Amino acid sequence: MSNETNAAQPVNTASNAGVTARAASGPAGAAPSSAGRHPAPPCTLVIFGAGGDLTKRLLMPALYNLSTDGLLDSGMKIIGVNHGERETAEWRDDLKKSLQQFAADKASTFHTTQFDEDAWDWVAQRLQYVAGEFESDDTFSNLKQLISAAAGSNVIFYLAVTSRFFKPIVEHLGRAGLLKEDDGGFRRLVIEKPFGTDLASARDLNAHILGYAKESQVYRIDHFLGKDTVQSILAVRFANAIFEPIWRREYIDHLQITAAETIGVEGRGKFYEQTGAFRDMLPNHLFQLLGMVAMEPPNSFDAEAVRDKKADIFDAIQPLHARDVVLGQYEKGPAGPGYREEPDVAADSHTETYAAARVFVENWRWAGVPFYLRTGKRLASRRTEIAVHLKTVPFRLFRDTPVDTLTPNVLTLRIDPAHGTRFDFNVKVPGPAMQIGPVQSAFDYADFFAERANVGYETLLYDCMLGDATLFQRADGIETSWAAVEDVLHPQNGPLPVAGYPAGSAGPAQSDALLARDGRAWRPLAPDDAASDANTAAQKK
Domain spans of the chain, in order of start:
44-192, 225-450+473-539
pLDDT less than 70: residues of the chain: 1-36, 150-152, 395-396, 399-404, 453, 527-541
- 310 has binding-site annotation: no
Q: How many CB atoms lie within 10 A of CB 143?
A: 23
pLDDT of amino acid 403: 65
Measure the CA–CA gap between 80 and 123, rounded to whole angstroms: 13
Element containing residue 99 per DSSP (H, E): helix 88-104
pLDDT at 9 (0 to 100): 37
CA atoms within 13 A on the CB side of 341: 9
Query: Does residue 227 have a known ligand-binding role?
Result: yes
User: How far is it, in rounded angstroms, from Cα 468 to Cα 464?
Assistant: 6
**DSSP single-letter state for residue 333:** B
Share of the chain above pLDDT 70, in %: 88
Residue 97 is labelled as binding a ligand: no
- Per-residue model confidence (pLDDT) at position 15: 31
Q: Is the peptide bond before 42 cis (omega within 30 degrees of 0)?
A: no
Q: What is the pLDDT of residue 396?
A: 66
pLDDT for 30 equals: 44
CA distances to 96, 264, 272 from 343, rounded to whole Å, are: 29, 11, 11
Rounded to 5 degrees, φ, ψ at 55 are -65, -45
Q: For residue 301, say whether it is annotated as part of any ligand binding site.
A: no
CA nearest neighbour of 76 among 190, 140, 152? 152
pLDDT at 526: 73
Query: Residue 149, exposed/middle/buried by CB under 10 A (0-12, 13-18, 19+)?
Result: exposed
215: annotated binding-site residue? no
C-alpha 351/C-alpha 354 separation (Å) is: 9
* DSSP string covering 292-304: HHHPPPPSSS-HH
223 labeled binding residue: yes
Q: What is the fold, at CATH topology level, of the domain defined by 44-192?
A: Rossmann fold (3.40.50)
Angle at 497 between CA 494 and CA 502, to 5 degrees: 160
Q: Which residues are catalytic?
A: 285
Rounded CA separation 92/145 (Å): 22
State how far the Cα of 93 lies from the Cα of 113, in Å rounded to an integer: 20
* Beta carbons of 79 and 46 less than 8 angstroms apart: yes
Determine the Cα–Cα distance for residues 298 and 530; give it in Å rounded to an integer.
Answer: 34
280 assigned to a ligand binding site: yes
Instruction: Please give the CATH topology (third level) of the domain spanning 225-450+473-539.
Output: Dihydrodipicolinate Reductase; domain 2 (3.30.360)
Give the model's pLDDT for residue 78: 96
- Walk across the sheet containing 155-159 and list its strands: 127-131, 77-82, 44-48, 155-159, 187-191, 218-220
Residue 142 CA neighbour count, 13 Å, CB half: 16
In terms of Cβ atoms closer than 10 Å to its own Cβ (0-12, 13-18, 19+), residue 337 is middle
For helices 88-104 and 60-68, give the axis angle rounded to 10 degrees.
80
Flag whether 117 is marked binding: no
Can you state the percent helix, strand and coil of the chain, rounding each to 5?
35, 20, 45
**pLDDT for 404:** 66
Quote the CA–CA distance of 498 and 522 in Å, as a whole number: 19
pLDDT score, position 225: 87
Structure confidence at residue 151 (pLDDT): 59
Three-state DSSP at 221 gives coil
d(CA 10, CA 448) in angstroms, rounded, equals: 4
The model carries a pTM of 0.87
Q: Please choose, from the candidates 107, 118, 103, 117, the residue with its C-alpha nearest in 3D space to the C-alpha of residue 61.
A: 103
